[in-house]
Amino acid sequence: MADQTLPIPGPLDEQQGGNAAFLEWMHSWAVTVDHKKLGILYIVYSLFFLLVGGVEALIFRIQLAFPYSHFVSPGVYDELFTMHGTTMVFLVGMPILFGFANYLVPLMIGARDMAFPRLNALSFWLTAFGGFMLYFSFIGGFGLYGMGSAPDVGWFAYAPLTGKAFNPGHNVDYWALSLIVAGFGTLGTAINIVATTITMRCRGMKLSRMPLFVWLMLVVSALTLVTITPLTAAQVMLLIDRYLGGHFFDATAGGSPLLWIHFFWIFGHPEVYVLVLPAFAIANEVIPVFSRKAIFGYTAMVAASVGIGFVSLAVWAHHMFTVGMSAFSNSFFVLSTQVVGIFTGIKIFNWIATMWGGRIRFATPMLFCTAFIFQMLIAGMTGIMLSVAPWDWQLHNSYFLIAHFHYVLVGAIVFCIFAGFYYWYPKAIGRMLDERLGKWHFWLFFIGFHVTFDTMHFVGLEGMPRSIYTYPADRGWQGLNIIISIGAFIQAIAVLVFVWNLIRSARHGKIAGNDPWDAWTLEWATPSPPPAYNFSKEPVVRSRRPLWDIKHPNDPDWKYEP
Ligand SMILES: [Cu+2]
């Protein structure tokens, strides 16, 4: 088989081809409108910020490991947890998952590219510009602590703390402006995915035959269109308050800080599903292939995803049970939040039913997905606990809440992202990731994750609130905090093993070939990596498993799907 790996120039090539070749290579990536290259750019960009956001977490975990610690100053501490949250949600979670979608959706539906390739390129560069502008605040921002102040108001930037009275510097402006710019990039990508899915499917790829990955990215993109907009509107209102004499969020002048909180969570909670549904989408592709069984309950999976999409728009105030809403409002948001739990339950049932009776191969992607199911179950249960208003009154903004949402953001989303890397890296690069390093990555990350976030539930139940800079020694939180910090460092080592695997395998990994996992969706029908034009001939699809049909025409349990 010809060596079809992705051409990655190295120092040798530079010496032979001189800088010209390298510059030409750089130029080809800078001006690309190819969905595959843009997908890879999104992923590399997000991996960089995953490391940055991870380092921020390690620094404040050192600060919190001991009582009365002054490892960093209070101001820097506030910047670190604000930037950690903002980075992981806006510069890692969304772009990395849209990166996977950018790379895979056209391939999975048998299309040549996205519907709007130039909009696609613009969307990436807006996203990247927004992210780097946010980090420029570390240099350009001017806050209470002088030059070089990053946003320090929490990732949800509650009013009135963001007002000029409490935050006279530019760090809040960097937060709002950079997310507005990145937000337009995200909107552009969402428009592209919706248009591509609706208009670019190859012959026979009916909606009822689309891979679940594509279905979920369609729901996510529609959700993005209706949730990024209120956030952008609120950020513009904030800038009007700060510079044009507005009073939207200023209670002393007829405005209301609660208005910001409502706006933020009208975006913020659906945002959780903009992040977790793509993770579910990855699990929907990996679990069946490694169980050697088609997904259980395809239609129920689609319906549950659409259901989550809709209901997630009606739960936002479960983040506001402590603001003093009426009993009726609280009850409404308790119930709507628990309805989402039903849809997630259907999905967890279907993943287990898919594995049930299957011939399961626990290769690294499947290890990450199996752990994901277990952790999503726990995250769901603590979510239901927190959705009960009286319980939430006790634990709101405690480390129990931090543990809960990291169970979703890391335990579900990051675990699935890692699974996606081990599953689709061979397709994009043409070489396999090393399985031995993969197993090390998995077990170290699994242990580190549980040491950190299981323990965090308990220090929360012991009453430790979030965002505090330090704590007294007599609260009994020290032991638990040291364990949490040790877990964080184990996770960091696991991520370094992963990064090393990514770099090393690009040159030394086993050649993958077109279809290393014996899968059944169309991306595996192309060479690895796929040529710029994707398919030499438009595929014709006759079922939900187009490649399986081609490879197993006489499969006894194959049946024609209308
Ligand atoms: Cu929520």
Contacts made by residues 387-393, CB under 8 angstroms, sequence distance 24+ = 387/318, 387/333, 387/334, 387/337, 387/338, 387/341, 388/334, 389/321, 389/330, 389/331, 389/333, 389/334, 392/318, 392/321, 392/322, 393/321, 393/322
Question: What is the b/e burial string over 286-295, where b = at least 16 CB atoms within 10 angstroms of the residue's CB?
Answer: bbbbbbebeb
Looking at residue 3, what is its pLDDT? 43
When computed from its CA atoms, the radius of gyration of the chain, rounded to whole angstroms, is 24
Q: Is residue 56 part of a domain?
A: yes
> Does residue 23 surpass a pLDDT of 80?
yes
Strand partners for 57? none
Whether the CA torsion 467, 473, 474, 477 is positive or negative: it is: positive
In the reported structure, the alpha carbon of residue 349 is separated from the centroid of ligand 1 by a whole-number distance in angstroms of 22
Say what the pLDDT of residue 17 is.
Answer: 63
| pLDDT at residue 356 greater than cutoff 80 | yes
Please tell me the least confidently modeled range out of 285-294, 327-336, 545-554. Answer: 545-554
Let me know if residue 6 belongs to a domain: no
Distance (Å) from CA 337 to ligand 1 centroid: 8
Determine the distance separating the centroid of ligand 1 and the alpha carbon of 267, expressed in angstroms: 10
Is 7 inside any structural domain?
A: no
Across 139-167, average pLDDT? 81
Q: How far is the CA of 502 from the centre of ligand 1 (A)?
A: 34
* 314 CA to centre of ligand 1 in angstroms: 10
Q: Residue 303 Cα, ligand 1 centroid: separation in angstroms?
A: 21
Identify the pLDDT of residue 444: 98
H runs (alpha helix) in 247-311 = 257-291, 298-311
What stretch of H or E contains 12? helix 11-30
How close is the Cα of 498 to the center of ligand 1, in Å? Answer: 30
293 Cα: distance to centroid of ligand 1 (angstroms):
34
Beta-carbon contacts of 245 under 8 Å, excluding residues fewer than 6 positions away, are none
Higher pLDDT, 423 or 558: 423
Calculate how far, in angstroms, residue 74's C-alpha sits from the geometric centre of ligand 1. Answer: 28
Q: What is the pLDDT of residues 403-414, one digit of tens each?
A: 999 999 999 999
pLDDT above 90: residue 498: yes
Dihedral sign from CA coordinates of 104, 110, 116, 121: positive
Domain of 248 in residue numbering reads as: 33-551
Q: Please tell me the distance between residue 330's alpha carbon and the centre of ligand 1 in angstroms.
A: 13
pLDDT at 147 over 80: no
| Percent of the chain topping pLDDT 70 | 94
Ligand 1 centre from 273 Cα, in Å? Answer: 9
Contact 480, 451 (CB under 8 A): no
Give residue 277 CA to ligand 1 midpoint distance, Å. 14
What's the CA gap between 133 and 27, in Å, rounded? 22
At 5 the pLDDT is 46
Residue 207 CA to ligand 1 centre (angstroms)? 30
Ligand 1: centre distance to CA 449 (Å): 22
Total domains, the chain:
1
Return the H-helix or E-strand segment holding 63: helix 35-64
CATH number at residue 289: 1.20.210.10
Å from CA of 48 to ligand 1 middle: 27
Q: How far apart are CA 208 and CA 94, in angstroms?
A: 26
Residue 275 banded pLDDT, cuts 50, 70, 90:
very high
pLDDT at 10 over 80: no
- Joined together, the tokens standing for residue 233 give 């509107």
Q: Tell me: pLDDT of 242 over 90.
A: yes
Q: How remote is the C-alpha of 279 from its chain's centroid? A: 7
378's tokens: 């726990």
Centre of ligand 1 from the C-alpha of residue 282, in Å: 22
Taking residues 395-410, report their average pLDDT.
Answer: 98
What is the reported pLDDT for 551?
Answer: 82
Mean pLDDT of all residues belonging to the chain: 94
The CA 269 to ligand 1 mean position distance, Å, reads: 4
Taking phi over 0 as left and psi of -120 to 50 as alpha, with beta for the rest, 430 belongs to: left
Asked if the structure places residue 560 within a domain, the reply is no
In a domain, 135, yes or no: yes
Q: What is the pLDDT of residue 12?
A: 46
pLDDT tens per residue across span 85-123: 999 999 999 999 999 999 999 999 999 999 999 999 999
Centroid of ligand 1 to alpha carbon of 268 (angstroms): 7
User: Is residue 119 situated within a structural domain?
Assistant: yes
482 CA from centroid of ligand 1 (Å): 28
Say if residue 14's pLDDT is above 70: no
Alpha carbon of 415 to ligand 1 centroid (Å): 20
Report residue 501's pLDDT band, with 50, 70 and 90 as the boundaries: very high
CA of residue 324 to ligand 1 center, whole Å: 17
Tens of pLDDT, residues 421-442: 999 999 999 999 999 999 999 9
Q: Residue 556: what pLDDT? A: 58
Q: How many whole angstroms from 154 Cα to the centroid of ligand 1?
A: 16
DSSP tag of 312: G
In a domain, 511, yes or no: yes
Domain-embedded: residue 124: yes
Instruction: Give the distance (Å) from ligand 1 centre to CA of residue 334.
Output: 11
Residues with CB under 5 A from ligand 1 (ion): 269
pLDDT at 139 over 90: no
Rounded to the nearest whole angstrom, what is the distance from the C-alpha of residue 321 to the centroid of ligand 1? 11
Q: How many angstroms does the Cα of residue 187 sit away from the middle of ligand 1?
A: 21
Q: Is the pLDDT of residue 16 over 70?
A: no
Identify the bridge partners of residue 4 per DSSP, sorted by sequence position. Answer: none
Please report the pLDDT score of residue 18 as a whole number.
77
Instruction: Kindly tell me if the per-residue pLDDT of 229 is higher than 90.
Output: yes
pLDDT on residue 19: 84
pTM of the model: 0.94
Question: How much distance in Å is there from the Cα of 318 to the middle of ligand 1?
Answer: 6
